[in-house]
Structure 1
Amino acid sequence: MTGPTDPAPPTAMEARPAPDTREGTPGPDPAPAPAMVGDPRTRRLRGIRRALTAVAVLAAGAIAVAALGSGSRHGYLDPRTTDPFGSHAVAELLKDRGVTTRVVTTAREAADAAGPRTTLLVTDPDRLGATQRGVIRSAIDLSGGRTVLLAPTTHSLTGLSPGVRTAGDADTDRPDPGCTLPAATSAGRADTGGGLAYSTALPRATACYPSGGHPTLLVLPTGPTGGDTVILGSETILLNESLADEGNASLALQLLGSRPDLVWYLPSLADSDADSASSDEDQSLFDLIPAGWSWALLQLFVAAALAALWRARRLGPLVTEKLPVAIRASEATEGRARLYRKADARDRAATVLRAATRERLAALVGVPHTQAHDPSALAPAVSARLTGEPRDVTALLFGTTPSDDAALVALADHLDALEREVRTS
């Protein structure tokens, strides 16, 4: 058991367990302590408020990011949204031409609404799972209507349009039609080249708006009932902010307005989760977390790390600092003795008493400081300075730990008496 240490070991008499009343001549009154700046409770409450505010801001940011990335009701390519990245303008123009637009958020709703008088627009084919792609593919083959796929990659083309693959990014923003498709020739140049280009070996495919030698618009006949599939490499022509550029409006209206009914399919996270649960029952917890929340958690972690760096303590070299008050030596001794007594650290107290006495005795009898704790060097030199009956100096200076408080007090008295005798000899 160890107790607190002190840079200047006390004498044997000073380190005794102190009584409740102080002894000795009172020293000068200690200097008054400077007033505390601010109430500790007020500072603690202020720190808690700051921490709660930071947590609330981070949580709000995480929720906002997750909501923006979760395919919410009014968002990117949503026909009900009037912001620059919505598609309300093209939906209104189609309405003026007698085309009814219906928004759906699940593959089953989209397949049930598809038919020969319907254009099915899939705004994000790559978000579809295997089950959803199968449902949409069945609708493409059996409905006899038109299906428009916006910027699909090989990931979704394998299930939705076999025989077509991506050919890299388009390198021309507004290519010329380059084909005989009536919708393309009447629209002229359009913003179809800001996305993907495709390649296909299907014999009846119509390829338009080439960029880098590969088309950015494909029209493929599908199914036995006269339907077709339109693969568009960029969704730019449908956005509110770019609908009025070049021939975007004309091309969008002709591709989406060839049938009286338009089913606008916005894949949702709920639909994706349902598909994942039905296709794989052995999923981990992380597989069930939507992609939007993953990004939100990542940003929350980065923000927390930056906040920790901002508020962390700057570590530097140790510096000395004066105490704000003057403490009497007797008070420090009493406090240290009470700590030893409270911790029942008789072994530590005895060790400190003996070590301090040995160092003072070594200086008195001429033993080098390096040999002050060597029994063979110190004990004979101390014994030679004593008079009267022989005493076991080695047991006194290097003995065992006292068994109780009374024995510790007796040890302190004997050490003090030994030092006084050596001083006076």
Structure 2
Amino acid sequence: MTIVKIENVRVLDPIQKTDSVKTVYLENGKLVAETANVTESIDGQGKWLMPTMVDLCARLREPGQQQHGTLKSEGRAARENGILHVFTPPDSKPIVQDNGALIHGLVEKAMLDGGIYLEVIGAQTQGLKGNQPANMAGLKKGGCTAVSNANAPFADDDVVLRTLEYAAGLDMTVVFYAEEHQIAKDGCVHEGFIASRQGLPMIPALAETIAIAKYLLMIEATGVKAHFGLLSCGASVELIKIAKDKGLKVTCDVAMHQLHLTEQLIDGFNSLAHVRPPLRSDNDKQLLRQGLKDGVIDAICTHHEPLSSSAKLAPFAETLPGMTAFDTYIPLGVQLIQEGLFEPLAWVEKVTLAAAKVANMVERWQDEAGWVLLDPELEWTLSKDAILSQGKNTPLLGQRLKGKVIQVFTA
């Protein structure tokens, strides 16, 4: 039995809505009453203690793409950066998330290899081909609470409607990563001056907002619960706000990097800044931040996508989109606080309790969550060696960051 005593630590507890400096005792990742049976003492002066985080979107690359990342490498990176529950889209290669019988094995392997609770989002259509609804009843039996077609297009809108009706009947959430493929086509960057000057194919903001507007009408007609992941445009925030004001059962999240980085980073054909949805304008970034502060955007996710170095070596438009993000999640969150967007407790809520509410797993999260000890003032350099993820693909390489996890306490 290990009982850890942490003295003079700032405890940020979104469940109790408390922010206070005190001495706490942890046994197997749980807060316990004061005891004399302490096996380890830690000076928490200047440090924060918060619950382990819930990530609503991360690709771990296994099964099928182990050259980029594995459940072991990415699970370890998530856990040691304070993220214990990880939701992954259903677009592994090969696609196994349309078969409820295979999902349980993935979940078990993620805990065994990486020490994380993997939350698998099921496929909305068979093989993500967009033609026929997947066996959602079987997926629910296999443990899925949500389905998505990830970034794959639907054959037509009738398929979308049928899958929404099917999901509504099973009380499952449908997750949209909204993009109108006829508009986005083969684009890879935000439509703007920098993309035009460099001659890169573009993805206009309309590709996202038109898709959201269309899906919201279908959500209203079917009554399904829906979540919009990875918002990238300021206008998208306005559409979600209108839907919420109307009483639609919708939630949304934003990737941490969209709150900090903009299209400026693609200048010089920097493929490390190639992500999808693309980095947008500074105005979009500011509107996303405001939407988060106002509560229109429910939660922040990592949108972690590890890639091998070779995946970023081709000409920009031919490189794979994605950014490693587990290792920068805490420092970029601390930066939001330092820039005045949030008080610490409000930020903690966005990456823990709010995400658990979106996933309808508050009670389970409380039961399974541990605690994260972090130093918000610790400065460090983001080097390839410092990144725990197998993927080193981030445009933040070489930058000095502030804020780092010191220790994670779990069962």
What TM-score results when the alignment is normalised by the length of structure 2?
0.25
Between Structure 1 and Structure 2, the one with more helix by share is 1
- Larger relative contact order (CA 8 Å, sep ≥ 6): 1
In our comparison, the structure showing a higher alpha carbon Rg is: 1
Structure with more strand by fraction? 2
